[in-house]
Amino acid sequence: MSLLPLTAPDSDIKKLVVAWTELLASEDYQGALALIGPASEAHDWTPASLKACINGYGVVDVDEQTLRDLLDEYEVSAFTITSLRERPDRERIIEDAIEVDRENLYGMRADRYLGMVHFTDLPLSGYLSDLTARFNIVKAGQNRLALEFIDIHVM
């Protein structure tokens, strides 16, 4: 799990989320989970379940007919995370779609949690989708913070 200084600016947190996205775009699900570990209270994420969630448009065990309908709707053969590297709107996505919220704890314990990150419009199969990836910002020791992956779901 990657650690950042407790005082890391939001831009460093966003860079970590972008690195996670790039690992997923290269289909390195193990690496993505190693970079940003799953939250303890979240789904028991494995590389296989993370891949299934992405391939299932935010649903790990998506119904086959529903998946075929979604693939037809988007005119793609499979859902995969799209790299941000070559996108002309890369900077806008990073600025607008990755929201770091350190003010609201959403009912989480203040002794452990520092906030949450929402990555809306997750790039999927060349499109900006209506999927959102969520992460907890957590304390990691005295002077560090880390991100915990919660889930990917349709907003």
pLDDT digits (tens, 9 = 90+) for 29-51: 999 999 998 777 667 899 999 99
Q: What is the pLDDT of residue 107?
A: 74
Q: How far apart are the first and last CA of the chain?
A: 27
Q: What is the pLDDT of residue 111?
A: 83
User: What is the pLDDT averaged over residues 101-120?
Assistant: 88
Domain extent listing, the chain:
4-154
Among residues 61, 77, 82, 87, the alpha carbon closest in space to that of 131 is found at 82
Question: Whole-model pTM?
Answer: 0.92
pLDDT classification of 110: cutoffs 50, 70, 90: confident
User: What is the pLDDT averaged over residues 20-30?
Assistant: 97
